[in-house]
Structure 1
Amino acid sequence: MLLSDVLSASISWHPSEGDSVLLGAVDDDIAIAETIAATLPAKARGRIFLEVGDASGIRAFAAPGRVCVTWLCRDRGQSMRAAVDAWLAEMLPIEAEREHQVYAWTSGDRAAHALTSD
């Protein structure tokens, strides 16, 4: 069994095809986000927010080309939760014509889940 199978199964990571993905992790959970990012298909799109204490915690992080990785530093007043909330406010607008969906996992969540604008 691969480590990626264990980690993704432990948080129930099963996005639908076409979902935008959102990952948010702090310090010790960055390895989980890294493992999930490694399992994403090349066509995946979305955002990953990674929070560390300071710039010394920033390192290389691989993700598909349409998944933007943003490092946040607590010593600069940056917060993964605030960044996730702001991104979701933009990506889940209320529209009468269609529903928007994001598949997400953040540090502190027991399992991944779909979020919709509905």
Structure 2
Amino acid sequence: MARTRRQPSERILIAGSVDDLPEMARMLEDLPENAYGQVFVEAALAEQVRTLPAPPRVTVTWLLRSARTSAVSPLVFADHGEALAHAVTGWAAEWCVADCEPRTSVWIGCADSPWVERARSVVQIELADAGFDTLVG
């Protein structure tokens, strides 16, 4: 089936921390208006939240570590990358399904977090199992 202007041309997942914001903003600005998908940004505090230039069908979700408990018992708040890793693996479980028509592009930053490194591996497996081969970042 040929794509029309109203049909989404690309499904995306962009995930990272506030340290990745400049690159994430550039990627969002380059997306076509009819792209759709999810952006997850992990931040320590609410003061770090800002508006990102996303197309209308792209949802930006801020994950505040200070508002989440950690799976690691001595930590009061979520560890760096912990909330992002949970969001990314949850997204993959829902959206990486076989025979899905739209092209899927995934970029995952926050490379200095072991939580995110494990999540990146899970997403790569989910993408491969669904027949996608697009993972950037």
Establish whether residue 86 from structure 1 lines up as the match of residue 105 from structure 2. no
Aligned residues: 95
Aligned with residue 47 of structure 2, among 56, 59, 62 = 56
Establish whether residue 42 from structure 1 lines up as the match of residue 33 from structure 2. yes
Amino acid paired to 2:62: W
CA-CA distance at 1:59 after TM superposition = 1.0
Any stretches of 5+ residues in structure 2 without a counterpart? Answer: 1-7, 69-77, 112-116, 118-123, 132-137
Per-residue Cα deviation, 1:88-110 (whole angstroms, up to 9, x for no partner): 1101135xxx246521011128x
Which residue number corresponds to residue 106 of structure 2? 104
Q: TM-score w.r.t. structure 2 length?
A: 0.62
When the two chains are superposed, the root-mean-square deviation of aligned CA atoms in Å is 2.2
Any stretches of 5+ residues in structure 1 without a counterpart? Answer: 1-16
Per-residue Cα deviation, 1:16-73 (whole angstroms, up to 9, x for no partner): x833111001021111111100110101111100110011111111100011100110
Aligned-partner Cα distance in 2 for 1:31–1:19: 21
The structure with more radius of gyration: 2
